[in-house]
């Protein structure tokens, strides 16, 4: 039987969001004509179908109606958010509360003011069919994944997300945007090993459950009955999920303007801090990525080169970190992220021309890693991170995979791993990886000269 999600009509959602933003805006101005005001409306749906042991065990969907409001009175600012009915009674209650909070706060000497009027890039990562997807379509992809595993245990999820964003502020900035995202991510399991497969896209139609499931099953079978590998320094070929993990630390603790302001970042503009083959940019306009081209402060996101031929060339800023640095915001403020700084990136790492087999073929003695797990930073300045491998690890000798190995713990400087002379090859297999803090990574596999494995899974 066909089923449907109840969802906001996609046709009129953008204008309705802007109407609601204008309504909240007017209610604030009626109470405090001099207030600086910023309103963001986020509406849409989130749905995720989760499976384990070969069947769907959790299947969720929810509607989103989120109002975010920030006011400033002579630099005394406060913000408030509402999830729920956004009628005049609710809006008035939240507005009275946030104005009261702003009035009793001390003036903020670092208040950067509101984003000025500026157009955002003309880009829309949107797919009507994904916005209209129902739970049967997610379940069908799960079915295909499970069937493709051909008897292996399976676990994972298929999700679809629809976002309509509307922004208005008292500096005259008005923006609307919308986006969709779909993701299929799962593992297949033998009695001794797991293997993973995943794919993310703007379009649910791009996700082939069979293809992703077959990849997971192949990895699980190929990595079965692993044996221990002596810890130590090895060459590595890291698949895209590992590379995205590395970049997430470079983002939060490195290219983030707040980390630089605090002295916690490694980033030094103009210095060759990376291998000469590394080109990294932030670019929400790339057709291969996902997202909306402005941030929670209403600042447009224009492409930025962060690393060019190994030289650090750019940083990400919010309005507050930009003010401290004497520069302009790059549009990387995220809700709830004030204490963290500039996030919400669309990182794109320049890809190479070599396929995964060619990368492996150039390894003398090293390790092929599918995924990282539970990575935690030990020191932000040196970017030393500890974590483990997961979902398929193999020893490579003389350009050939010779055997699967048990998971390894590493303690490694991520900056050092990408440093000058440390990158031996970049793959052509660029994949979209969805990260935390609204960050998206479009990254290939990397062949790195050295990785410090500090222990086996058994200690």
Site for other proteins in 37-96 (CB under 8 A): 46, 48-66, 77-85, 90, 93-94
Contact assessment for residue 323 and residue 235, using Cβ atoms and an 8 Å cutoff:
no
**Is residue 200 involved in binding other proteins (CB under 8 A)?**
no
Nearer to other proteins, 283 or 372 (CB): 372
Nearer to other proteins, 290 or 359 (CB): 290
Among residues 382, 399, 401, 449, which is the contact residue for other proteins, using CB under 8 A? 382
Closest-CA residue to 234 (of 451, 422, 420): 451
Closest-CA residue to 32 (of 65, 78, 67, 68): 78
**Is residue 450 involved in binding other proteins (CB under 8 A)?**
no
**Is residue 32 involved in binding other proteins (CB under 8 A)?**
no
Minimum distance from residue 213 beta carbon to other proteins (Å): 12
Nearer to other proteins, 135 or 331 (CB): 135
Minimum distance from residue 121 beta carbon to other proteins (Å): 28
**Is residue 434 involved in binding other proteins (CB under 8 A)?**
no
CA distance 28 to 296: 19
**Is residue 329 involved in binding other proteins (CB under 8 A)?**
no
282-321 positions binding other proteins, by CB under 8 A: 320
Nearer to other proteins, 291 or 352 (CB): 291
Minimum distance from residue 108 beta carbon to other proteins (Å): 6
391-410 positions binding other proteins, by CB under 8 A: 407, 409
Nearer to other proteins, 240 or 341 (CB): 341
Query: Which sign, positive or negative, has the C-alpha torsion 268, 328, 176, 36?
Result: positive
Q: What's the Cα-to-Cα distance from 131 to each of 45, 126, 167, 201, 435, rounded to whole Å?
A: 8, 8, 21, 13, 21
Q: Near other proteins by CB under 8 A, which window of 219-227, 308-316, 379-387, 439-447?
A: 379-387
* Residue carrying the six token digits 């005049």: 88
Nearer to other proteins, 121 or 456 (CB): 456
- Kindly determine how many residues on this chain lie close enough to bind other proteins according to the rule CB under 8 A: 102
Minimum distance from residue 254 beta carbon to other proteins (Å): 13
Q: Near other proteins by CB under 8 A, which window of 19-27, 182-190, 199-207, 342-350?
A: 182-190
CA distance 155 to 22: 44
CA distance 449 to 418: 9
Helix axes 88-104, 13-31, angle to 10 degrees: 50
**Is residue 387 involved in binding other proteins (CB under 8 A)?**
yes
Minimum distance from residue 373 beta carbon to other proteins (Å): 6
**Is residue 230 involved in binding other proteins (CB under 8 A)?**
no
Q: What's the Cα-to-Cα distance from 449 to each of 237, 267, 272, rounded to whole Å?
A: 9, 22, 18
Nearer to other proteins, 49 or 277 (CB): 49
Minimum distance from residue 20 beta carbon to other proteins (Å): 13
Minimum distance from residue 258 beta carbon to other proteins (Å): 9
Minimum distance from residue 154 beta carbon to other proteins (Å): 8
Nearer to other proteins, 123 or 252 (CB): 252
Among residues 15, 26, 97, 119, which is the contact residue for other proteins, using CB under 8 A? 97
Nearer to other proteins, 135 or 240 (CB): 135
109-128 positions binding other proteins, by CB under 8 A: 109-110
């Amino acid at each position: 039987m066909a089923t449907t999600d109840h969802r906001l009509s996609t046709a009129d959602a953008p204008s309705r969001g802007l109407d609601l933003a204008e309504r909240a805006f007017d209610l604030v101005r009626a109470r405090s004509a001099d207030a600086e005001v910023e309103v963001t409306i986020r509406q849409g749906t989130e749905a995720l179908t989760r499976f384990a042991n070969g069947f769907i065990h959790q299947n969720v969907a929810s509607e989103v109606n989120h109002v975010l409001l920030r006011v400033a009175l002579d630099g005394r600012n406060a913000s408030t958010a509402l999830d729920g009915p956004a009628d005049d009674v609710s809006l008035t209650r939240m507005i009275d509360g946030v104005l009261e909070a702003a009035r009793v706060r001390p003036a903020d000497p670092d208040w950067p003011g509101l984003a000025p009027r500026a157009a955002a890039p003309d880009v829309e990562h949107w797919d009507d069919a994904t916005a209209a997807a129902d739970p049967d379509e997610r379940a069908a992809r799960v079915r295909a994944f499970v069937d493709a595993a051909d008897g292996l245990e399976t676990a994972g999820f298929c999700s679809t997300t629809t976002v309509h964003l509307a922004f208005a502020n008292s500096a005259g900035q008005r923006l609307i945007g919308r986006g969709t995202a779909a993701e299929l991510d799962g593992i297949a399991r033998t009695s001794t090993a797991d293997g993973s497969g995943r794919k993310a896209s703007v379009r649910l139609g791009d996700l082939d459950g069979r293809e992703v499931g077959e990849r997971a099953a192949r990895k699980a079978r190929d990595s079965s009955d692993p044996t221990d590998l002596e810890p130590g320094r090895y060459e590595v070929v890291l698949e895209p999920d590992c590379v995205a993990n590395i970049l997430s630390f470079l983002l939060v603790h490195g290219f983030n303007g707040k980390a630089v302001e605090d002295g916690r970042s490694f980033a030094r503009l103009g210095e060759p801090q990376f291998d000469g083959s590394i080109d990294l940019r932030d670019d929400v306009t790339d057709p291969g990525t996902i997202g909306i081209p402005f941030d929670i402060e209403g600042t447009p996101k224009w492409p930025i080169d962060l690393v060019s031929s190994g030289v650090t060339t750019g940083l990400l800023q919010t309005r507050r970190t930009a003010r401290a640095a004497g520069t302009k915001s790059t549009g990387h403020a995220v809700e709830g992220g004030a204490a963290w700084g500039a996030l919400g990136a669309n990182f794109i790492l320049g890809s190479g021309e070599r396929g995964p087999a060619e990368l492996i073929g150039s390894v003398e003695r090293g390790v092929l890693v599918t995924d990282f797990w539970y990575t935690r930073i030990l020191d932000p300045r040196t970017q030393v991170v500890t974590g483990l491998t997961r979902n398929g690890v193999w020893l490579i000798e003389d350009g050939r995979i010779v055997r699967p190995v048990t998971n390894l713990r590493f303690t490694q400087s991520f900056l050092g791993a990408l440093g000058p002379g440390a990158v031996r090859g970049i793959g052509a297999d660029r994949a979209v990886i969805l990260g935390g803090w609204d960050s998206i990574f479009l990254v290939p596999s990397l062949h790195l000269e050295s990785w410090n494995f500090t222990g086996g899974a058994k200690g």
